[in-house]
Amino acid sequence: MELLWPGFLYLLFVIPALLIAYIFILRRRRPYAVRFSSLSLVRDAIGKQSQIRRHLPFVLFLLAMSSLVLAMGRPVTTVTLPAANATIILAIDVSRSMCSTDIQPNRLEAAKSAALDFIEAQETNVQIGVVAFAGYAVVIQEPTTDRNLLENAVQNITTARRTAIGSGLLTSLEALSEIDDSLPSPFSGVEPEPLPEGVYAPYIVVLLTDGVNTTGPEPVFAAEFAKTRGIRVYTIGFGTDQNDSPMNCGGFQGSPDAGQFFFGGGGGGGGGGFRRGIDEETLKQVAAMTGGAYFAASSTGELQEVFKNLPVQLMTVTETTEISVIFVTLGAVLILLAILLSMLWHPIP
């Protein structure tokens, strides 16, 4: 907690001054001499309860004054709240290996179906953007709440050559920087101040791939940019061990039309030595670096379940808010309680 006007704390010196004055007044009361046969009878008659009743209202009054002085200093604190306008970027691998039919009708169509179900399930105020990457990455739909635009973007993506996972992640960060001026683009050469440990921006990237990075920057390099911006990356490895399955995407020809289509061509997204052709270790490392998580899916049902269980509800925003009202309320309650107890225990005759 910090104070916007810390100078008001000097008023706290009034509290010990009031306490000294209170003690002084008590001692200046005229003594009365009354003769008792036994001092023990006096102690029993007075008791601890009467001492508490005598001084508690004044103690409550001092606490109330302290609370009100703190309120005058305008205390502020940093709080984490659910993000009102969260943004999700879906980064989808569209390399030619996504045409593999080990998952019917093929990996790409299964990924499209799961992505569309995920989009439909989100709250209407959640912005979603779509990035497609193969040998290069393209924002095929800027973040929007228009579900029709998102549906058209996902349905129209086609395959291209090679796999640039790092480029897909960097382009996703670029798309987020376009909607948030405080978030520098990874291509600008400007780096933000790293967020405190455990604090994240209200943005996430969901990156789906079935292969290994074959071109462009390394995924771990791109993940460093996401980490410094507080953007969590959830990675999904999609595919089976049947890497020799026939490929069928209904043809590989395409052309970039307003960013909606990928260039068709040959090439593949697989890599030797990795289970199911997926570099799971790198995907796990990217997720761990950014505070996200890695998921594996080897069927349409598993992929739909992964999308369903993505922790998008964890998106929060950190705000600095003034909490003076808490101390004002506490002070008012203590004053009222002091007055009430004083009238109850020491009624005016």
Rounded distance between C-alpha atoms, residue 60 and residue 63, angstroms? 5
Per DSSP, the three-state class of 251 is coil
Stretch 29-38: mean pLDDT, rounded?
54
Is pLDDT larger for residue 327 or for residue 30? 327
Entry field: residues in the chain = 349
| Residue indicated by tokens 């890695």 | 294
Cα–Cα distance, 121 to 51 (Å, whole number)? 64
What per-residue confidence (pLDDT) applies to 236?
97
Can you tell me the mean pLDDT for 283-305? 95
- Of 11 and 91, more confident: 91
For 259-288, write each residue's pLDDT tens digit. Answer: 334 433 333 333 333 445 799 999 999 999
- Residue 334: which of 70, 102, 143 has the closest Cα? 70
More confident residue, 254 or 240: 240
The architecture (CATH level 2) of 84-314 comes to 3-Layer(aba) Sandwich (3.40)
pTM of the predicted model as reported, rounded to 2 decimal places: 0.66
With cut-offs at 50, 70 and 90, classify the pLDDT of residue 19: confident
pLDDT of residue 66: 92
Within 8 A by CB and 6+ apart from 274, the residues are: 212, 280
Encode pLDDT of 215-229 as tens digits: 999 999 999 999 999
